[in-house]
């Protein structure tokens, strides 16, 4: 796993926090050991160009994947506030504030790497690192705009409040920022994506899945263009993730090798760098890997049955899905996906420290779903069905194509709708739900497809997040709002 690099220079630390009220750091001289003057040093610096924050805890709690499991669950302000779609009071690890901070730190690292490359003359030996810096900058901004701004809507994106898009290292304190529009942010992401991708070289990395390889960059592009409602580009990049057309060999083997693993073995395997499905892994400073199973607001037996088609509940395939679910106590259910590393303060004898969780940021399965959804947007339903059925073939125990494959008639009948595209989108959303449970992906689908969410508490009270509710957009951290140029999100 990647560890935080000691060569993160003071100037970068300051620039990351200029959005957060940084004071007086620039008055100090940087340590000479931190001079970035070789390709190797740029490469080491870019290890920290990926957000070390984790969005999964708060994103998952806002979805319909969780409910009130009071008798079992750990009380936590992030989990509780997110469940009720309130502004999260905590600013600690795994909070929206923490993710905002860490994403802008990553952007600052990318910008300083790009400046260093420019100052060193930008020779050919620097180009792979320039490509990685541009992709990392694009990814961090993309995640921020999709969490802290309204989901992209082509009719309103030119007016909707976006986020600050930072492309230069800050060299002065107290710099003021403004919020660009969502459309502008997407345009800048595409600019970085197009400039960076051709420069990438996979052999530049010692552990490639922790960096933007070409396949990872194309995978990110499928998500980006799908969210930007440009399906042709999403399909183009998805095809480049699977240049030989062999998707199955790169998928998680839930019906094969995974089914024979213990829970602990599965947790290790799921986020392993050698797992072909993992196109981009990010090591986050997060407690998610040790606590996701036992929060108060988590997945109940009723929800597990609905999501996985168990206990008499149906699923669109009509077969038994091969995922391995576990149980904590009496009511909390989960899929064993994560493990974590505890870094003790003061060595092995220390009792306090930091938790680290590796997360799968981009995967083969997501690319397959993205391409299928893009096909649906273009009314290429046969192509969409081909991708959906490829997925089903690797997730149903005892798969039989004549029994379990999806057809247009089957989809329309199952969902009780007459429109082919609507029926297939519903099928994709239902298949994605168990595949990405605990990973926050459901939240982005809820936003993009304007789905309502209903939560209940143990007293029977019902709370609804409707399609137009402004709480669907996370509020910016208070430190950012202290900048007079930064407007809050409406409430």
The per-residue pLDDT string of the chain (491 residues; one tens digit each, 9 = 90 and over) reads 333 343 444 444 444 444 554 433 333 333 434 578 899 999 999 999 999 999 999 999 999 999 998 866 677 999 999 999 999 999 999 999 999 999 999 999 999 999 999 999 999 999 999 999 999 999 999 999 999 999 999 999 999 999 999 999 875 545 668 899 999 999 999 999 999 999 999 999 999 999 999 999 999 999 999 999 999 999 999 999 999 999 999 999 999 999 999 988 999 999 999 999 999 999 999 999 888 888 999 999 999 999 999 988 999 999 999 999 888 876 788 999 998 887 767 666 666 778 899 999 999 999 999 999 999 999 999 999 999 999 999 999 999 999 999 999 999 999 999 999 999 999 999 999 999 999 999 999 999 999 999 999 989 999 999 999 999 999 999 999 999 889 999 99
Spatial contact of 21 and 479, defined as CB atoms under 8 Å apart: yes
215 domain residue, yes or no: no
118: burial class by Cβ within 10 Å (0-12, 13-18, 19+)? exposed
For strands 325-328 and 332-335, give the pairing.
Answer: antiparallel
Which residues are registered as beta bridge partners of 281? 360
Residue 326's SS3 state is strand
Kindly compute the dihedral angle of the four CA atoms of residues 327, 333, 337, 342, in this order, to the nearest 10 degrees. -70
Question: What pLDDT, on a 0 to 100 scale, did the predictor assign at position 351?
Answer: 64
Q: Report residue 238: phi and psi, to 5°.
A: -60, -40
Which residues are registered as beta bridge partners of 161? 181
354 domain residue, yes or no: no
| Count of structural domains, the chain | 1
194 domain residue, yes or no: yes
Kindly compute the dihedral angle of the four CA atoms of residues 32, 34, 38, 40, in this order, to the nearest 10 degrees. 140
User: Tokens 């992906």 appear where?
Assistant: 441
Spatial contact of 47 and 2, defined as CB atoms under 8 Å apart: yes
117 domain residue, yes or no: yes
- Which of 94, 52, 84 lies closest to 290 in space, CA to CA? 94
180 domain residue, yes or no: yes
Here the tokens at position 470 are: 């402004």
Can you tell me the distance from the alpha carbon of 94 to that of 78, in angstroms, rounded to the nearest whole number?
Answer: 8
Domain of 1: which CATH number? Answer: 1.25.40.390
Q: Provide the terminal-to-terminal Cα distance of the chain, rounded to the nearest Å.
A: 40
Side-chain half-sphere of 292: how many Cα atoms within 13 Å? 29
Question: What pLDDT, on a 0 to 100 scale, did the predictor assign at position 485?
Answer: 87
Question: What pLDDT, on a 0 to 100 scale, did the predictor assign at position 348?
Answer: 64
DSSP class of 30: P
Q: Report residue 17: phi and psi, to 5°.
A: -95, 0
Q: Report residue 464: phi and psi, to 5°.
A: -120, 130
Spatial contact of 66 and 307, defined as CB atoms under 8 Å apart: no
Give the DSSP H or E segment for 294.
none
Q: Report residue 368: phi and psi, to 5°.
A: -60, -45
Can you tell me the distance from the alpha carbon of 471 to that of 469, in angstroms, rounded to the nearest whole number?
Answer: 5
Here the tokens at position 455 are: 């939560």
Here the tokens at position 182 are: 């969502």
Here the tokens at position 359 are: 């997360």
Q: What is the pTM of this model?
A: 0.92
Please give the radius of gyration of the chain, using alpha carbons only, rounded to the nearest integer: 22
44 domain residue, yes or no: yes
Side-chain half-sphere of 300: how many Cα atoms within 13 Å? 15
Give the DSSP H or E segment for 357.
strand 353-363
38 domain residue, yes or no: yes
Side-chain half-sphere of 87: how many Cα atoms within 13 Å? 10
Question: What pLDDT, on a 0 to 100 scale, did the predictor assign at position 1?
Answer: 37
Print the domain residue range for 47: 1-54+93-204
Question: What pLDDT, on a 0 to 100 scale, did the predictor assign at position 67?
Answer: 95
For strands 353-363 and 278-285, give the pairing.
Answer: antiparallel
Q: Which bin fits 334, alpha (ψ -120 to 50), beta or left (φ > 0)?
A: beta
Count other Cβ atoms within 10 Å, centred on residue 449: 14
Question: What pLDDT, on a 0 to 100 scale, did the predictor assign at position 169?
Answer: 87
- Rounded to whole angstroms, the maximal C-alpha distance in the chain is 70
Q: Which bin fits 245, alpha (ψ -120 to 50), beta or left (φ > 0)?
A: left
Can you tell me the distance from the alpha carbon of 94 to that of 79, in angstroms, rounded to the nearest whole number?
Answer: 9
197 domain residue, yes or no: yes
Can you tell me the distance from the alpha carbon of 210 to that of 213, in angstroms, rounded to the nearest whole number?
Answer: 9
Count other Cβ atoms within 10 Å, centred on residue 262: 10
């Amino acid at each position: 796993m990647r560890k935080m690099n000691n060569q993160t220079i003071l100037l970068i630390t300051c620039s990351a926090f200029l959005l957060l009220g940084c004071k007086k750091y620039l008055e100090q001289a940087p340590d000479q050991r931190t001079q970035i003057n070789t390709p190797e040093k740029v490469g080491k610096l870019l290890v920290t160009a990926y957000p070390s924050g984790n969005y999964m805890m708060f994103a998952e709690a806002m979805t319909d994947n969780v409910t009130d499991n009071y008798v079992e669950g750990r009380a936590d302000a992030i989990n509780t506030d997110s469940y009720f779609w309130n502004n999260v009071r905590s600013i600690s690890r795994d909070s929206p504030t923490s993710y905002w901070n860490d994403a802008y730190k990553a952007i600052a690292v990318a910008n300083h790497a790009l400046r260093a490359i420019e100052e060193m003359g930008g020779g050919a030996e620097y180009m792979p690192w320039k490509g990685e810096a541009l992709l990392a900058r694009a990814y961090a901004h993309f995640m921020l705009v999709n969490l802290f701004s309204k989901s992209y809507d082509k009719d309103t994106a030119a007016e909707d409040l976006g986020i600050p898009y930072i492309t230069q290292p800050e060299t002065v304190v107290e710099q003021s920022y403004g919020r660009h529009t969502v459309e502008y942010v997407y345009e800048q992401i595409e600019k970085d994506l197009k400039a960076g991708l051709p420069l990438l070289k996979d052999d530049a990395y010692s552990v490639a899945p922790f960096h933007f390889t070409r396949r990872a960059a194309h995978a990110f592009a499928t998500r980006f263009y799908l969210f930007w409602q440009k399906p042709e580009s999403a399909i183009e990049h998805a095809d480049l993730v699977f240049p030989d057309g062999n998707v199955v060999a790169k998928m998680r083997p839930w019906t094969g090798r995974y089914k024979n693993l213990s829970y602990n073995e599965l947790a290790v395997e799921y986020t392993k760098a050698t797992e072909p499905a993992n196109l981009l892994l990010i090591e986050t400073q997060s407690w998610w890997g040790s606590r996701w199973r036992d929060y108060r607001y988590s997945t109940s037996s009723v929800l597990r049955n609905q999501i996985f088609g168990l206990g008499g509940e149906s699923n669109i395939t009509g077969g038994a899905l091969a995922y391995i679910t576990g149980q904590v106590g009496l009511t909390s259910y989960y899929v064993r996906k994560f493990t974590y590393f505890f870094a003790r303060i003061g060595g092995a004898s220390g009792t306090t420290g930091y938790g680290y969780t590796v997360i799968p940021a981009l995967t083969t399965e997501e690319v397959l779903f993205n391409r299928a959804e893009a096909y649906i947007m273009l009314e290429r339903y046969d192509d969409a069905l081909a991708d959906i059925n490829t997925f089903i073939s690797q997730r149903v125990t005892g798969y039989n194509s004549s029994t379990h494959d999806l057809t247009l008639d089957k989809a329309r009948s199952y969902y009780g709708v007459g429109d082919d595209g609507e029926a297939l989108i519903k099928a994709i959303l239902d298949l994605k739900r168990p595949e990405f449970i605990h990973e926050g992906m459901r939240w982005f689908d809820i936003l993009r497809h304007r789905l309502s969410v209903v939560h209940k508490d143990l007293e029977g009270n019902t709370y609804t997040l409707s399609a137009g509710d402004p709480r669907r957009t996370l509020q910016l951290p208070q430190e950012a709002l202290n900048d007079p140029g930064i407007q809050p999100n409406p409430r």
